[in-house]
Amino acid sequence: MKQLIFYILGIMPFLGLAREPNLHLSENYVGNVPREGSSFLTTTVHNDQLFLTIPDNLLETPMLFVRYDHVPTPKYLQVVWSLQGNNILLKIPRIESTAGILLPVRKRLAQKDNIIGIYPVEQTVEAVNGHTINVTELLLSQAIEWKPGYTETPVPQISLVLGAKNWDNEVVIKVRKGLVMDKSRIAVPIFYGFAALPSPMKSRRFDYRMGFFDDAIDQIHFDLINKKANITRWRLEKKFKDQEVSVPVEPITFWISPEVPKPWRPYIKAGIAEWLPAFESAGFKDALVVKELDSLDPWQAHRIHFNRVHWSQKKYLRGSEEENYGGTIGPVIDIRTGEILRNDIFMGASARTVMEKYFVRAAPLDQRAQRFPFPETLTGQLFQVIAAHEAGHAFGLVDGNFGEFAYPWDKMNDSIWLHKMGHTPSIMNYSRSSNIPQPSDSIPPSLLLQRVGPTDHYNIQWAYTEFPKGTTKKAEAEALEQMVRWQDSVPWYRFNSKRLEVIGPAASNEVVETNNPVQSTQLALKNLERVMALLPAACHDQNDNARLERLYERTGLLWLDHMKHVLSLVGGYDIHYKSIDQPGPMYDPLDREMQEEALHFLLSNAFDPPKWLNEPSFHTRTRFSTFSDKILDYQRTLLFELLSANRLKRLEYMESFWGYENLVVTFLSQLRSGLFQELRSNTFPVNARRQELQQLYIGVVIRILEKEGPSIDPQEQFFIHSDYAKGLLKQQLMELKKEIKSTLKRNKKGPNGGHWQLCLRKISAME
């Protein structure tokens, strides 16, 4: 009975049986009109309708209109209120950026503003120095285009205003808004806010050589140009201008939400605090403050300057246990300057996720990780890594590749190096925990974890250093350029943007990138084999095979990531973004010998994988079919990538360099020879996996040859092979056909006659 009572009480708000009472008029009101002297918008709720009063002095004044949604990322627009006769217009204006460009209402649209809505002035309300309108429809019924192409279907029948609250420079409104979600009608709690914009801060111009978001954060940019934009960053100003390192006027403050479990709060605080020395390098002491909340005022939590650390509740829902690692909840910025006004941190990963991901990387090197659940201290340290990464986003840094393919591979088992430099230069890299050291190296487990590194300090110093008053624009630009040029002599300071293709080992993800991917991968594979041996014992207490299958799949995926890292050497470049007056190329082809070594490594390890990986001992207990063979799927992926148009086009371009002559035909010949090495043996049988790959190779090459091209569409050209490559691939099929015929002729009763005949038939069918 007690459970039933609690259940009824819990669902009453959703049934309409109980409602949050409407808030009374704020202190800015006398009766039904705003008190004289109220300087910002004011709200009142009357008969379930929301009324907003706009003072005369705020007409045509830019402000923020924010929606704190049922999904974590807030949406926002810069808007103005205009008086037109007896109507108030809510408009999106064209904005003048301090980067020296006008930000249009819509792309390529030159008009000065656009109208969101028109609202009659309430004649029955006598406002003092202001105009009162009913904005209920705006918030409950109107489909607002928060960004180009954004749509939703409101359901006004299940929508209502729950209350509003006023402050000196901000109003916050709470509603339940009916929306169609996955074909269902859902009444979603939403907070809206109108907030005053600060006076424009001094901005910092975007530079593509540095790893910061620009002020168009809702767009993905692949162009490596210094577009007219500002980077997104916080307003940090020294309180004591004469001090080299000063406390800021206002520190960046984060509030840890009550739903964050108390055991993990110290680690989340520690993750954010890892950035304190980086801000000191920019001249700010105690730039960050992190506070815990045991209770949360929802009104304060939805104010513009409240930066919150969220704890995803989805991880507790059935079907959502694999919630992503996390993610900074997109910032609210002043797009005039790039100033970050609010930026939340979202901790999405479950304890199970962080433990299992760490297990497949570090269990052989950290005894604490060999049994589930992990000790609380270890799990907390894993959450700390996530918090530190997401804090980097909160400060304006993007996900990218910072200084990778720069650290010496033989320093990955050097405790002194790891203590000072870490195993990766930046917490923003997707390097994860290190699995390169060997157990005999006795590396302390704390040094396996990723942390804020030297490249993070460098980026914060470039973005947040405050120049003395009176510094000219030219002098400031020269000083910032000099800092960028530090990358010339410190390779791990270099930034490499994410793009459509991985053009070198510095652009890989999910593994520790060193200056010798083959050597570091060989060491990592030894640990992967040890992980496989640990799997049965780590799952012995389970009454099903779910954990075993998850860990095996994670191990296979990590194996694939290591193979992709080696693959990035083939047709790969060393990358160093530069301005036009910097000497040397931006893309320096990797040594031919390094590329050939990588191909031979893949032929020996990726296309002939070890038994411990594709035939682990526990499969005899858990499998009943060759379907599905994940490792074979990963091998197919690697083969497709080896023969991709973009990789072959990079190899073609390299042939113009001295020492790279005939590179493409050499690569294709070595690949064919390695995949079909059994043709040179009279007795060597071809196992089922190899037969699948050999048939796949022939099929892929045929599809390449039969695909139409060239196309005038640049995007399609990216995926279409050149006629030069097609000619060389055709030559490979002709050579292969000769080899198969020769093998069948000298060994008519060989064990794989049917397989070779199928290969011949495929090749002959396309001639």
The residue out of 505, 530, 565 marking a domain boundary is 565
The answer to whether residues 451 and 352 belong to one domain is yes
Query: What are the C-alpha distances in Å from 85 to residues 29, 61, 120, 121, 571?
Result: 25, 18, 9, 9, 66
- Residue 38, domain member (yes or no): yes
Joined tokens for residue 725: 């490559």
Average pLDDT, the chain: 90
Structure confidence at residue 27 (pLDDT): 38
Q: Beta strands 252-256 and 288-292: pairing type? A: parallel
The answer to whether residues 559 and 592 belong to one domain is no
Secondary structure tally for the chain: helices H, strands E: 22, 23
Domain containing 535 equals 252-565
- Residue 17, domain member (yes or no): no
Task: Count CB neighbours of 358 within 10 A.
Answer: 25
The answer to whether residues 523 and 656 belong to one domain is no
Structure confidence at residue 109 (pLDDT): 83
Judge whether 346 and 315 are in contact, CB under 8 Å.
Answer: no
- Residue 16, domain member (yes or no): no
Structure confidence at residue 70 (pLDDT): 72
Joined tokens for residue 145: 């285009």
- Residue 385, domain member (yes or no): yes
Interatomic CA distance for residues 90 and 301, integer angstroms: 26
Structure confidence at residue 542 (pLDDT): 94
The residue out of 179, 196, 213 marking a domain boundary is 196
If one counts the domains in the chain, the total is: 3
- Residue 48, domain member (yes or no): yes
Judge whether 298 and 289 are in contact, CB under 8 Å.
Answer: no
The 3-state DSSP composition of the chain as helix, strand, coil percent (nearest 5) reads 40, 20, 40
The answer to whether residues 615 and 744 belong to one domain is yes
- The full length of the chain comes to 767
Q: How far from the centroid of its chain's Cα atoms is residue 297's Cα?
A: 30
Residue that the structure tokens 């040094």 belong to: 447
Structure confidence at residue 301 (pLDDT): 94
Task: Please state whether the predicted TM-score (pTM) of the whole model is above 0.85.
Answer: yes
User: From the first residue on, what is the mean pLDDT of each consecutive set of 10 residues in the chain (767 residues)?
Assistant: 36 34 36 51 94 95 93 89 97 94 86 95 78 96 90 94 96 96 93 97 96 80 80 97 97 97 97 98 98 95 94 76 61 96 92 95 98 98 96 94 97 98 98 98 98 98 96 96 97 89 94 97 98 97 94 97 98 95 94 98 96 91 83 96 96 97 98 94 82 96 86 75 96 96 82 91 88
The answer to whether residues 192 and 261 belong to one domain is no
The answer to whether residues 192 and 278 belong to one domain is no
The residue out of 162, 178, 196 marking a domain boundary is 196
- Residue 220, domain member (yes or no): no
The answer to whether residues 374 and 404 belong to one domain is yes
CB proximity list for 140: less than 8 A, separation 6 or greater: 154, 156, 159, 160, 161, 175, 177, 178
Residue 171 phi/psi, 5-degree rounding, is -125, 145
> In the 3-class helix/strand/coil scheme, how is 103-161 assigned residue by residue?
ECCCCCCCCCEEEEEEEEECCCCCCCCEEEEECHHHHHCCCCCCCCCCCCCECHHHCEE
| DSSP sequence for 583-630 | SS-SEEEPPHHHHHHHHHHHHHHTSS--HHHHS-TTHHHH-SSS-S-H
The answer to whether residues 383 and 489 belong to one domain is yes
The answer to whether residues 537 and 391 belong to one domain is yes
Residue 357 phi/psi, 5-degree rounding, is -65, -35
Interatomic CA distance for residues 366 and 346, integer angstroms: 28
Structure confidence at residue 494 (pLDDT): 97
- Residue 203, domain member (yes or no): no
The answer to whether residues 530 and 407 belong to one domain is yes
Judge whether 566 and 518 are in contact, CB under 8 Å.
Answer: yes
- Residue 489, domain member (yes or no): yes
Residue 599 phi/psi, 5-degree rounding, is -65, -45
Judge whether 257 and 308 are in contact, CB under 8 Å.
Answer: yes
Residue 326 phi/psi, 5-degree rounding, is 165, -165
Joined tokens for residue 459: 């980026």
Degrees to nearest 5, angle at CA 39 with 33 and 43: 45
The answer to whether residues 132 and 181 belong to one domain is yes
Nearest to 604 by CA among 669, 657, 671: 671
Structure confidence at residue 25 (pLDDT): 35
Q: Where are the alpha helices (DSSP H) in 661-710?
A: 663-675, 688-706
Burial class (CB in 10 A: 0-12, 13-18, 19+), 229: buried
The answer to whether residues 345 and 398 belong to one domain is yes
